[in-house]
């Protein structure tokens, strides 16, 4: 099931191509870095719940929007937009499975304003070899799961995240070079429009 692929993989020991970072990066610096991302795109590699690996391109438009386009032969698509997440199965002729974005840990980095100083939001903050790792949860709904973010420094860059869902299943997404862009067309994050374009009404 595609939902497992994105929102539900044990964290692997992944070597990041970056110089060693002696001290962990402060929470304020990390929050400022994320808040400064308005539109961005990156290739990604995803380690799925069953151990399989998929690749693709992610488009991010904060607040609240993301699009995961998977490379062939997968051709799956996941869109976060309009406060919903839609999982499109290319092998199916039925409308996508949808659920509220706020019920997924991904919502924590797509929020309009990231504040890592909120009470009980940070459940882990450490330096791990050449990176800073932060584990974040919704302080009002920790039962929704958490997202573990890995950053390198000089300059600060988000390299990887691991999402753990409400039943303990995990997915690892390893980013390539996350590049900020001037803008990404809003149509990429329009779930009803994608449904109509695919004739799934």
Domain 2-9+19-197 homologous superfamily, CATH: Lipoprotein localisation LolA/LolB/LppX (2.50.20.10)
The stretches of the chain forming alpha helices (DSSP H) are: 2-7, 27-35, 107-110, 191-197
Query: Tell me: the pLDDT tens digits for 139-174?
Result: 999 999 999 999 999 999 999 999 998 888 899 999
pTM of the predicted model, to two decimals? Answer: 0.86
pLDDT digits (tens, 9 = 90+) for 17-37: 444 445 899 999 999 999 999
- The pLDDT value given to residue 6: 47
Cβ atoms within 10 Å, residue 89: 15
Mean pLDDT of 86-103: 92
Under 8 Å between Cβ of 130 and 18: yes
First to last CA, the chain: 21
């Amino acid at each position: 099931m595609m939902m497992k692929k994105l929102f539900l993989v044990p964290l692997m020991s992944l070597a990041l191509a970056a110089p060693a970072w002696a001290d962990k990066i402060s929470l304020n610096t990390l929050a400022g870095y994320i808040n400064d991302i308005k539109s961005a795109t990156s290739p990604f590699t995803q380690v799925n719940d069953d151990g399989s690996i998929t690749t693709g391109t992610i488009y991010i438009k904060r607040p609240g929007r993301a699009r995961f386009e998977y490379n062939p032969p997968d051709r799956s698509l996941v869109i976060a937009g309009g406060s919903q997440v839609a999982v499109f199965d290319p092998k199916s002729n039925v409308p996508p499975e949808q659920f509220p974005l706020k019920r997924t840990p991904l919502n924590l980095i797509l929020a309009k304003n990231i504040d890592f100083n909120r009470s009980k939001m940070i459940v882990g903050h450490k330096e791990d070899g050449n990176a800073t790792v932060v584990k974040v949860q919704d302080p009002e709904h920790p039962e929704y799961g958490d997202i573990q973010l890995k950053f390198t420094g000089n300059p600060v860059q988000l390299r990887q995240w691991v999402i753990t869902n409400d039943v303990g299943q995990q997915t690892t997404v390893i980013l390539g070079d996350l590049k900020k862009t001037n803008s990404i067309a809003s149509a990429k994050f329009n779930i009803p429009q994608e449904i109509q374009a695919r004739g799934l009404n």
